[in-house]
Amino acid sequence: LQEPGIKFEMSPLVVENPQKCFEKYVRRLPVRCAEATDTVWEKLQGRAAEQILGGHVGKLEFFWIHQSGAECTPDNADGLVCFQFVQGFAANFVRILHLSVVGVDGVWELKLPDVIFQVRQFLLTTLPIDSLRAVVLAGEDDAGKMYFDSDIEVCYQQCRFRWFQLTQSLRRTRNTLTRRAQVRPSSRFLVLHSPRISTDPPAPRCALSPMPALQLRDEEDEAEDGEVLKGFSQF
């Protein structure tokens, strides 16, 4: 995608209670779009609170996506993006934890590439970052097979996002009858990555450069039965 078909603008969500606005807005989302992004406030905040391996994470930002002159409210916005700036040891980047558009089936799918394209341009223009990483949820069918909405994946691919990482949170339990360890996935998602390239707008000048290189040492972490294996997120 070289140019968006529909022009959108981004405006910050500035209210005393962003949770109320968020929860009111996500009720408007089409089912397939809602299944691909975090729509539960507590889960979104939990993901935002994750520690990042080799980086300092900024606060979670909320921006309405709307057409020029349109009113920015939960009832009228065309979309919403929630992101964090990450100052890394090797490079600075943005984590997109929620990105969605509203509309009936057959319409929102056409809007989504334009929204992703302009969100990407907006973040590259306003923040001193080298790349973007978008979290997109995957589903699991009755047979336990993981699936991902291919139409949404194509929308990201059209805007220079590529598969970066498949991640899942694991809880280890032990069956008291067979004494065999079981691993149960509690959440699965894809991380799609888009680097800054030569044709992108230049990054703004900023003194907030990447931190010095991180030196890692080998450590063995043990988790007792029933504990969640909590590590550092790599995205």
pLDDT for the residue 65: 98
Kindly report which listed range (20-29, 32-41, 146-155, 192-201) carries the lowest average pLDDT score: 146-155
Kindly report which listed range (14-18, 31-35, 142-146, 222-226) carries the lowest average pLDDT score: 222-226
- Strand ranges for 102-143 from DSSP E: 131-137, 139-140
| Segment 175-189 mean pLDDT | 43
Which band of pLDDT confidence, cut at 50, 70 and 90, is reported for residue 88?
A: confident
- Mean pLDDT score across all residues of the chain: 82
pLDDT for the residue 131: 96
pLDDT for the residue 213: 54
pLDDT for the residue 149: 85
How far apart are alpha carbons 9 and 79 in whole angstroms?
A: 10
pLDDT at 41 over 50: yes
pTM: 0.79
pLDDT at 129 over 90: yes
- Strand ranges for the chain from DSSP E: 9-12, 55-57, 61-66, 79-88, 93-101, 131-137, 139-140, 146-147, 162-174, 181-195
Q: Would residue 23 be called left, alpha or beta, if left means φ above 0 and alpha means ψ between -120 and 50 degrees?
A: alpha
User: At 164, which helix (H) or strand (E)?
Assistant: strand 162-174
Torsion of CA 156, 161, 164, 170, to 10 degrees: -30
Find the farthest-apart pair of alpha carbons in the chain and give their distance in angstroms, rounded: 64
Q: Would residue 92 be called left, alpha or beta, if left means φ above 0 and alpha means ψ between -120 and 50 degrees?
A: beta
Which band of pLDDT confidence, cut at 50, 70 and 90, is reported for residue 219?
A: very low
User: At 51, which helix (H) or strand (E)?
Assistant: none
Q: Give residue for tokens 């009228």.
A: 76
pLDDT at 232 over 60: no
Residue 217 has which token pair?
């040492």
Considering 26-35, 137-146, 158-167, the range whose residues carry the highest mean pLDDT is 26-35
Q: What is the CATH number of domain 10-139+149-166+187-195?
A: 3.40.630.30
Burial class (CB in 10 A: 0-12, 13-18, 19+), 182: exposed
Contact 190, 148 (CB under 8 A): yes
pLDDT for the residue 209: 62
